[in-house]
Amino acid sequence: MTVKIGVIGTGAIGQDHTRRINQVLAGAKVVAVNDVNRDNAQACVTAFAPEATIFDDPIALINDPGVDAVLVCSWGQTHEEYVLATIAAGKPCFCEKPLATTAQGAENIVKAEVAAGKRLVQVGFMRRYDPGYLALRHAVQNVTGAPLMVHAAHRNQRVGTNYTTPMAIHDTLIHEIDVLRWLLDDDYVSAQVFFPRKSPRAHEKLRDPQVVVLETKKGVVIDVEVFVNCHYGYDIQCEIVGEDGIAKLPEPMSVQTRSNAMLSNPILTDWKDRFIDSYDYELADFLKAAAKGTAAGPSSWDGYVAAVTADACVSAQEQEGVPVRIALPERPALYA
Strand-pair partners of 237? 153
Site string for ligand NAI, 49-68 (x = CB under 6 A): ---------x----------
Question: Binding partner of residue 317 among ligand NAI, ligand ISE, none, CB under 5 to 8 Å per kind?
Answer: none
Give yes or no for residue 35 binding ligand ISE (CB under 6 A): no
Give yes or no for residue 271 binding ligand ISE (CB under 6 A): yes
Nearer to ligand ISE, 172 or 300 (CB): 172
Contact at 8 Å (CB) between 212 and 117? no
Spell out the alpha helix ranges (H) of 89-225.
103-116, 131-142, 167, 174-184
Torsion on CA atoms 274, 278, 283, 285, rounded to nearest 10: 180
Pairing relation of β-strands 221-227 and 210-216?
antiparallel
Nearer to ligand NAI, 58 or 252 (CB): 58
Question: 6, 92, 124, 252: which one contacts ligand NAI (CB under 6 A)?
Answer: 124
Question: 15, 18, 144, 156: which one contacts ligand ISE (CB under 6 A)?
Answer: 156
Question: 171, 178, 215, 311: which one contacts ligand NAI (CB under 6 A)?
Answer: 171
Spell out the alpha helix ranges (H) of the chain.
12-19, 38-48, 58-63, 79-88, 103-116, 131-142, 167, 174-184, 271-274, 276-290, 300-318
Give yes or no for residue 40 binding ligand NAI (CB under 6 A): yes
Instruction: Identify the CA nearest to 234 among candidates 134, 171, 130, 158.
Output: 158
CA separation for the pair 299, 99 (Å, rounded): 9
CA separation for the pair 308, 301 (Å, rounded): 10
Window contacting ligand ISE (CB under 6 A); options: 58-66, 167-175, 279-287, 316-324:
167-175
Give yes or no for residue 168 binding ligand NAI (CB under 6 A): no
CA separation for the pair 217, 161 (Å, rounded): 37
Give yes or no for residue 36 binding ligand NAI (CB under 6 A): yes
Could you say which residues in the range 168-197 bind ligand ISE, by CB under 6 A? 171-172, 175
Binding positions for ligand NAI, rule: CB under 6 A:
8-14, 34-37, 40, 58, 73-76, 78, 96-97, 124, 126, 171, 271
